[in-house]
């Protein structure tokens, strides 16, 4: 098979890029290791920035998001007794959209056949070849047969563990990494959220987040040491811990119920440079990871795809040979700002095992400053709604 762009991975980055390229008449094929159902079963992001909402609008795939998504004007930070509201609408004139990654992926997946976007699921042993040349190709096996896709460009949208980043020689690439000494234990439950806006809590027992997917579906997180096993966290134990960490006001409104998903995800900051090597572009989690505290991962995947699709349109339709080499700098400038924000909010809202009384006083002072300064709240708000692309 021959195509213009071979896309590895059918997560949000791969599917968004595929749709954007098809809408411009550029040929592409998406190759995914898992089944479609498996991709949809991963419970991940919940908060969309304007860049992500805007791409769905541009594709005309925003009807369900507009009908079922929850626009939010603000979110809250709590520490001990006080609640600091970040009024993002008043401070930036913008909103964020609470609409699950599962739903956005489903919308993109279901629209693929009618938009002529071919997605090959259950492709095993995907390998990238000749990425330094102008004629790269990928190989994979499916149903016992070997397949090959020849392309002009390969887009690596295969997440943190995929093969695309590994196809860049170690002598060319550089990784920047910070691993955190805890993970987030998340639960999804069909119960009404305890608050109409998100609450991020820094409690002496650790971090907690109250989030949601709909008026009847809640998403909660607590941070736990990486040594914890999910089997040791009964639903009751999670609800008890959430009630303590979120504080009495939120606890009074928590509705408990059986979890429909419960898992622990490690936290990491990671950036791989450059995001291009020869004819290979990296987009999304394949090139970078943020801790989820800033709700930035999916949104960064969307902004990468925005820059990559722009570059690919210029390359294929206007024969602009500088477009592809220009992609990494544009994408990375935004990536590093989101890395900084996610890291700083993680440091502000978590109790690190190595921290002592000095670091705690620093957190309290910073929260005092945020509570008292509109300038500080504006800086948080404009990062949270998403910096411009």
| Of residues 210 and 280, the one with the C-beta less far from ligand PHB | 210
Q: Is 66 a catalytic residue?
A: no
The sheet carrying 47-48 orders its strands as: 47-48, 96-98, 70-72
Q: How does strand 288-289 pair with strand 259-273?
A: antiparallel
Say how many Å lie between the first and final Cα of the chain, rounded: 34
Q: Is 307 a catalytic residue?
A: no
User: Could you say which residues in the range 95-124 bind ligand RFL, by CB under 6 A?
Assistant: 101, 123
Q: Is 292 a catalytic residue?
A: yes
User: Could you say which residues in the range 281-340 bind ligand PHB, by CB under 6 A?
Assistant: 292-293, 295
Whole-number Cα distances in Å, 140 to 137, 153, 162, 367, 378: 10, 17, 13, 51, 48
User: Could you say which residues in the range 272-331 bind ligand RFL, by CB under 6 A?
Assistant: 284-285, 292, 295-299, 301
- Candidates 40-48, 103-111, 147-155, 370-378 — which segment interacts with ligand PHB by CB under 6 A? 40-48
| Of residues 91 and 198, the one with the C-beta less far from ligand PHB | 198
| Of residues 180 and 315, the one with the C-beta less far from ligand PHB | 180
Residues, the chain, total?
Answer: 389
Rounded CA gap, 125 and 152, in Å? 21
Residues in contact with ligand PHB, counted by CB under 6 A, come to a total of 9
Q: Is 220 a catalytic residue?
A: no
| Of residues 257 and 326, the one with the C-beta less far from ligand PHB | 257
CB 92 within 8 A of CB 385: yes
The catalytic position among 292, 328, 330, 350 is 292
**Of 5, 6, 7, 11, the one binding ligand RFL by CB under 6 A:** 11
Q: Is 384 a catalytic residue?
A: yes
CB 304 within 8 A of CB 287: yes
| Of residues 155 and 381, the one with the C-beta less far from ligand PHB | 381
DSSP-derived 3-state class of residue 219: strand
The catalytic position among 140, 200, 221, 327 is 200
- The DSSP output letter for 354 is T
| Closest residue to ligand PHB using C-beta atoms | 46
Angle (CA) 267 268 272, round 5°: 160
Stretch (H or E) spanning 109: helix 101-111
Residue 46 binds to ligand PHB (criterion: CB under 6 A):
yes
Residue bearing tokens 């991963």:
42
Residues designated catalytic: 72, 200, 292, 296, 384
Interface residues toward ligand RFL, by CB under 6 A: 8-14, 31-34, 39, 44-47, 101, 123, 126, 157-159, 161-163, 184, 186, 265, 284-285, 292, 295-299, 301
């Amino acid at each position: 098979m021959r195509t213009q762009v071979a896309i590895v991975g059918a997560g949000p980055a791969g599917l968004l890029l595929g749709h954007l390229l098809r809408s411009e008449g550029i040929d592409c094929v998406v190759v995914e290791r898992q089944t479609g159902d498996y991709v949809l079963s991963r419970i991940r992001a919940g908060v969309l920035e304007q860049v992500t909402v805007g791409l769905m609008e541009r594709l005309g795939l925003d009807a369900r998001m507009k009908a079922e998504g929850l626009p939010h004007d603000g979110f809250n930070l709590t520490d001990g007794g006080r609640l600091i509201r970040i009024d993002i609408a008043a401070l930036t004139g913008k909103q964020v959209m609470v609409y699950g990654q599962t739903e956005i992926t489903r919308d993109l997946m279901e629209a693929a056949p009618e938009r002529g976007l071919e997605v090959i699921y259950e492709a095993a042993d995907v390998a990238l070849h000749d990425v330094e040349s102008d004629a790269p190709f990928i190989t994979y096996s499916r149903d016992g047969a070997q397949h090959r896709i020849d392309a002009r460009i390969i887009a690596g949208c295969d997440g943190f563990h995929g093969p695309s980043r590994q196809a860049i020689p170690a002598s060319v690439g550089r990784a920047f990494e910070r691993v955190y000494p805890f993970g987030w234990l998340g639960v999804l439950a069909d119960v009404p959220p305890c608050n109409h806006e998100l609450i991020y809590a820094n409690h002496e027992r650790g971090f907690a987040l109250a989030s949601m997917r709909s008026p009847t579906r809640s998403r909660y997180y607590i941070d736990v040491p990486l040594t914890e096993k999910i089997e040791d966290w009964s639903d009751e134990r999670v609800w008890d811990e959430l009630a303590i960490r979120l504080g009495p006001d939120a606890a009074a409104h928590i509705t408990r119920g059986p979890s429909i998903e419960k898992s622990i995800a490690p936290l990491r900051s990671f950036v791989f440079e450059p995001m291009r090597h020869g004819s290979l572009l990296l987009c999304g989690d394949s090139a970078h990871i943020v801790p989820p505290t800033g709700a930035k991962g999916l949104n960064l995947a969307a902004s990468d795809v925005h820059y990559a699709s722009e570059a690919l349109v210029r390359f294929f339709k206007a024969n602009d040979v500088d477009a592809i080499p220009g992609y990494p700098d544009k994408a990375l400038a935004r990536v590093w700002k989101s890395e900084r924000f996610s890291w700083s909010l993680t440091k502000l809202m978590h109790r690190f095992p190595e921290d002592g009384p000095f670091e705690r006083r620093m957190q309290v002072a910073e929260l005092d400053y945020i509570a008292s300064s509109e300038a500080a709240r504006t800086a948080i708000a404009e990062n949270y709604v998403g910096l411009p692309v």
